[in-house]
């Protein structure tokens, strides 16, 4: 069937910010038309999906994820990661290059794209490394990587320590009109530390990661972006100091954008349990309550542009090594929207439209994507979201191979119920993960 009707869904009314009942017609993988919910459309010969009062949202976009393949398939595969993304309502995801081998050659970029094409259908956009093997010593072949399908350059997982190397990378990326995406961390300030330099570290006698370790690179790179004109995007902002610098950069016209993760909007180092559970260990680490509020305010005012998950699965054995020895990172696909909807929209701090924009149209705008909207002619990438039903976070139900989350047991609403990419259902609550349209 080339025609699909989604009946009895809810959409956001632009004038009021409230929801209104609508029907949506999809044609040949594209959005065709919206009809008022009181109309009775002719659905003969079409696939019909009854949204039953669920929100019809553009598919969520996550511009910072770790799919682990190639090299770390015991943590995640492209197949399991995209399945998890689909269950979380994400239809487009951008994967980081800190795999083994590192995504630093055209062949590795193509490997990721081919694996993604054979998976569930979620759109996968690979980043390529700034430096070979992410060692910070020699630039990769940016032009060849762009031609192979890379959408930007980052050494995520480590910061580029040498300023001249970063300036050269920015100048080269600018010549190709490609963005540089930066993991901001000064290694000299973080070696041997597992948590933020704050209350938890002091209580347990741990070396802490100071806020300035992130902000130093943010400030440096904003100056380098000003000098080169490149689009500079700051990964997983977590500190008040970084936010001040990003705000300054924007105010003087530097092409700087930024992202924040749900965990840095919801948790501080004061929330980490004394059990030293390594599912609370992430990089950047959880900061102070003051930093949390600064991140929320920066997102609200536009200093921070988008929300990402930094989905970072690890095996249970790795996370069992304890706070000091376990790897950094938590999973995020399947909890991101319910967490933020429950904690910010349901409490009245944000409108539903605000949250959706930061996870759909704003990432599309920042990175020049054609997705993130459901206007006629746009790709039919969407998710149906149950705004009312509540359930607890249960890692045993995840489709990701990772179970590493600090949110176990949280009771949340706003769970996705169905996800479509290009008009094809790739996951639904009733049927689980589905084959791509090519299979």
Residues in Cβ contact with 403 at an 8 Å cutoff, skipping those fewer than 6 apart:
316, 331, 395, 396
Both tokens assigned to 331: 């999973």
Distance, CA of 74 to CA of 193 (rounded, Å): 25
- Sheet strands (E) in 249-336: 256-260, 306-307
Residues 230, 171: contact at Cβ < 8 Å? Answer: yes
Give 373: exposed, middle or buried? Use CB within 10 Å, 0-12, 13-18, 19+.
middle
Q: Which of 278, 144, 166 is closest to 218 using CA atoms?
A: 166
E strands along 276-421, which residues?
306-307, 382-392, 411-421
What is the three-class DSSP state of 360? coil
Question: Which of 62, 310, 362, 381 is labelled catalytic?
Answer: 310
Residue 121: which of 81, 72, 71, 64 has the closest Cα? Answer: 81
Q: 276: which residues sit within 8 A by CB, 6+ positions away?
A: 204, 322, 323
What are the E-state strand segments in 178-298? 180-182, 195-196, 208-209, 232-234, 256-260
Q: Is 310 a catalytic residue?
A: yes
* d(C-alpha 60, C-alpha 50), whole Å: 20
Cβ contact 391:399 at 8 Å: no
d(CA 404, CA 394): 11
Longest alpha-carbon distance in the chain? 68
Q: In Å, what is the CA distance from 389 to each residue of 342, 385, 414?
A: 11, 10, 7
How far is it, in rounded angstroms, from Cα 26 to Cα 287? 44
The CA distances from residue 435 to 26, 122, 135, 144, 431, in Å, are: 19, 11, 38, 31, 11
Q: Supply the residues annotated as catalytic.
A: 310
């Amino acid at each position: 069937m080339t025609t699909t009707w989604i009946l009895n869904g809810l959409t956001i009314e632009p004038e009021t910010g409230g929801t209104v009942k609508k029907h949506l017609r999809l044609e040949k993988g594209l959005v065709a038309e919206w009809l008022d919910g009181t109309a009775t459309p002719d659905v003969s010969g079409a696939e019909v999906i009854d949204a039953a009062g669920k929100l019809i949202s553009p598919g969520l976009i996550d511009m910072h994820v770790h799919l682990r393949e190639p090299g770390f398939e015991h943590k995640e595969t492209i197949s399991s990661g995209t399945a998890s993304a689909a269950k979380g309502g994400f239809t487009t995801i951008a994967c980081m290059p800190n795999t083994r081998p590192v995504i630093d050659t055209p062949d590795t970029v193509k490997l990721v794209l081919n694996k993604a094409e054979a998976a569930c259908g979620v759109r996968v956009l690979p980043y390529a490394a700034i430096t070979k093997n992410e060692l910070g010593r020699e630039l990769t072949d940016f032009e060849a990587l762009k031609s192979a399908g890379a959408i930007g350059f980052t050494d995520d997982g480590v910061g580029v320590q040498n300023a001249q190397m970063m300036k050269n990378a920015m100048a080269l990326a600018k010549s190709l009109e490609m963005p540089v995406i930066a993991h901001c961390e000064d290694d000299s300030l973080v070696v041997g530390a597992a948590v933020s330099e704050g209350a938890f570290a002091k209580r347990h006698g741990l070396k802490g990661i100071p806020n300035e370790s992130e902000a130093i690179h943010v400030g440096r790179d904003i100056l380098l972006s000003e000098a080169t004109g490149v689009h500079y995007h700051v990964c997983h902002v977590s500190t008040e100091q970084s936010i001040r610098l990003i705000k300054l950069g924007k105010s003087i016209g530097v092409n700087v954008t930024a992202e924040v993760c749900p965990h840095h909007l919801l948790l501080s180092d004061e929330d980490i349990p004394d059990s030293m559970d390594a599912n609370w260990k992430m990089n950047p680490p959880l900061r102070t309550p003051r930093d949390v509020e600064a991140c929320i305010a920066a997102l609200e005012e536009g200093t921070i542009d988008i929300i990402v998950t930094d989905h970072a699965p690890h095996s249970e054995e790795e996370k069992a090594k304890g706070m000091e020895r376990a790897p950094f990172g938590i999973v995020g696909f399947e909890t991101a929207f319910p967490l933020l909807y429950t904690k910010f929209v349901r409490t009245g701090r944000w409108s539903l439209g605000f949250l959706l924009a930061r996870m759909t149209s704003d990432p599309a705008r920042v990175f020049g994507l054609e997705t993130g909207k459901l206007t006629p002619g746009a790709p039919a990438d969407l998710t149906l979201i149950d705004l009312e039903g509540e359930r607890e976070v249960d890692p045993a139900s995840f489709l990701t191979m990772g179970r590493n989350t600090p949110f176990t047991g949280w009771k949340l609403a706003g769970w996705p119920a169905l996800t479509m990419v290009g008009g094809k259902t790739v996951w639904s609550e009733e049927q689980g993960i589905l084959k791509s349209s090519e299979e």
